[in-house]
């Protein structure tokens, strides 16, 4: 173990040696990065460190042109007390809603609290307890806030789940829809399962949203259940056995869902027609979203996070335009849970770092690239998305003031044609021997013909 430590320490020292050439420094910096991942031992002889550029994928693999703007992350200290739940966080104007859970070891109770944080003043403005439950043998009836939406006036529509354990052989589950006014006082309540005639054991709400008219959309396994602003049940929409992956409000205030479309063999997005109780026509060219809900776009209709990049999607053009990669923001994209465009044009994101067990809130601010510190760009090529590689690159970028790592993926994971994999392998192998090759490659199974490429002098040993 000491020998390994000494070797890595020596590589770090070599990376910082000012007497080495720029290309050699890039090679040594790459060794530092990959030593942390401990998965790759070969580097492609390429640009030797180019101006910082954009990541790409599929056939549009790499563009090394310096972008005019970048999105820079600025973190907010929320001073959260308890275990924060940002997955169900909500942004409404400048108000940020999130929940915490606190366990009292003495009383054996778990308290669920909803917090309201003002993004402009950066202060908490409200909080209220939504449930408090007894744990252990004394537990008889428990209730939890299962999901909620914030309406335009700040009132809340809440789905509350109640579990009755008094009959241990046959515990009962119920769901209620509750309306809270702006003072967070309950003013209206209904038994949800009775209203929609659902089976208590097998019925679950997967997603919950409202449109700009405060109409509610509850997405179950096979139906979208519709409620108007007064909480009156208006029927349901059958989505014909498809799986709805994402749902949310578009820039026009309407409700949208995304799903896989068999006819076009692609991910599509459709509007939910409340009056006609049906889904609208499919909009193609959509990106498979990784996490969070559909939200209004920055300049177009919908903002999409695919886990590595963020896109602005146009319904009229059926086209997704890449805005930035999470790596360029020094953020591991798979940890991003929610995002929204704020009134001042920034993008607010919630992040859950599972390894560190930390939650955070950050703003992404659009800044001219020429105003930022200039770093030597290192490009790593990979056939398909690698979470381990992304996480290692983020960690490296945060601690380096000289280098910035970006990752090029050659497989377009939104392309479902039969030859997609074959074409991606060919694209990656062609890139490796081209004049615009990546500085390093992540060699996964089947991604490259290593002996043939090595015979052409494409690779350089990083261990020496």
What distance, in Å, lies between the first and last C-alpha atoms of the chain? 19
pLDDT value at residue 95: 87
Domains and CATH numbers, the chain: 2-61+373-461 (no CATH), 71-368 (2.120.10.30)
- Model confidence at 24, pLDDT cuts 50, 70, 90, reads very low
Q: What is the pLDDT of residues 281-322, one digit of tens each?
A: 999 999 887 776 899 999 999 999 988 899 999 999 999 999
Distance between CA atoms of 224 and 239, rounded to whole angstroms?
A: 8
Q: Collect all residues with Cβ–Cβ distance below 8 Å to 167 and sequence separation of at least 6.
A: none
Write down the pLDDT at residue 188. Answer: 96
Gap between the Cα atoms of 440 and 106, Å rounded: 55
Give the list of residues 6+ apart from residue 387 with CB closer than 8 angstroms, or none.
Answer: 332, 334
Q: How far apart are CA 326 and CA 208, in angstroms?
A: 27
Contacts of 362 (CB under 8 A, 6+ apart): 73, 74, 75, 76, 331, 348, 349, 351
Is residue 189 within 8 A of residue 170, CB to CB? The reply is no
Check the CA dihedral 306-348-243-206 and report its sign.
Answer: positive
User: No. of H helices and E strands in the chain?
Assistant: 6, 29
- Looking at residue 462, its pLDDT comes to 64
Task: Indicate whether 12 pLDDT > 70.
Answer: no
| Rounded average pLDDT over 323-350 | 91
Mean pLDDT of 146-174: 88
38 pLDDT above the threshold of 50: no
Q: Structure tokens of 4?
A: 């390994």
pLDDT score for 313: 96
Query: What is residue 15's predicted lDDT score, i.e. its pLDDT?
Result: 37
Has residue 138 got a pLDDT over 70? no
Give the span between the Cα atoms of 92 and 77, in whole angstroms: 19
Contacts of 369 (CB under 8 A, 6+ apart): 52, 66, 67, 68, 69, 70
Which pLDDT tens digit goes with each residue over 162-216? 888 777 777 788 999 999 999 889 999 999 999 998 776 778 899 999 999 999 9
The model carries a pTM of 0.80
> Which residues contact residue 93 at a Cβ distance below 8 angstroms, ignoring those fewer than 6 apart?
343
């Amino acid at each position: 173990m000491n020998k390994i430590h000494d070797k890595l320490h020596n590589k770090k020292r070599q990376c910082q040696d000012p007497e080495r050439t720029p290309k050699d420094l890039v090679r040594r910096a790459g060794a530092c990065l990959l030593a942390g991942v401990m998965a790759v031992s070969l580097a492609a002889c390429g640009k030797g460190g180019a101006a910082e550029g954009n990541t790409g994928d599929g056939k549009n693999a790499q563009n090394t042109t310096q972008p005019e703007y970048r999105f820079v992350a600025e973190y907010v200290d929320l001073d959260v007390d308890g275990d924060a739940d940002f997955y169900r966080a909500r942004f409404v104007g400048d108000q940020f809603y999130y929940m915490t859970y606190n366990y009292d070891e003495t009383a054996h109770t778990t308290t669920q609290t909803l917090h309201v944080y003002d993004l402009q003043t950066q202060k908490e403005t409200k909080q209220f307890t939504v449930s408090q439950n007894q744990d252990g043998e004394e537990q008889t009836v428990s209730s939890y806030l299962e999901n909620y939406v914030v309406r335009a006036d700040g009132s809340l529509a809440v789905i509350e789940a109640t579990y009755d354990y008094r009959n241990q052989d046959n515990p009962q589950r119920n769901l209620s829809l509750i309306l809270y006014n702006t003072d967070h006082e309950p003013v209206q309540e209904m038994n949800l399962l009775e209203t929609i005639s659902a089976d208590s054991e097998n019925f679950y709400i997967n997603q919950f949203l409202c449109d700009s008219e405060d109409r509610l959309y509850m997405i179950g396994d096979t139906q979208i259940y519709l409620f108007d602003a007064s909480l009156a049940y208006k029927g349901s929409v059958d989505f014909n056995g498809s799986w709805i992956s994402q749902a949310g409000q578009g820039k026009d205030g309407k409700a949208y869902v995304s799903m896989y479309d068999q006819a076009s063999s692609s991910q599509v997005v459709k509007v939910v027609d409340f009056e006609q109780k049906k889904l609208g026509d499919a909009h193609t060219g959509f990106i498979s979203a990784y996490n969070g809900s559909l939200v209004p776009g920055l300049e177009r209709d919908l903002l999409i996070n695919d886990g590595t990049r963020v896109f602005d999607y146009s319904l009229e053009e059926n086209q997704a335009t890449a805005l930035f990669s999470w790596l360029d923001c020094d953020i591991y994209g798979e940890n991003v849970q929610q995002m929204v465009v704020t009134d001042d044009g920034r993008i607010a994101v919630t992040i859950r770092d599972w390894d560190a067990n930390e939650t955070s809130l950050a703003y992404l601010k659009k800044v001219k690239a020429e105003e930022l510190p200039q770093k030597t760009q290192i490009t790593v090529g990979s056939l398909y998305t690698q979470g381990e590689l992304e996480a290692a690159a983020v960690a490296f970028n945060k601690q380096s003031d000289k280098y910035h790592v970006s990752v090029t993926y050659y497989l377009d994971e939104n392309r479902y044609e039969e030859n997609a994999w074959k074409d991606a392998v060919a694209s990656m192998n062609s890139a490796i021997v081209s004049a615009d090759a990546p500085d390093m490659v992540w060699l996964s199974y089947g991604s490259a013909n290593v002996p043939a490429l090595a015979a052409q002098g494409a690779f350089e040993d990083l261990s020496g």
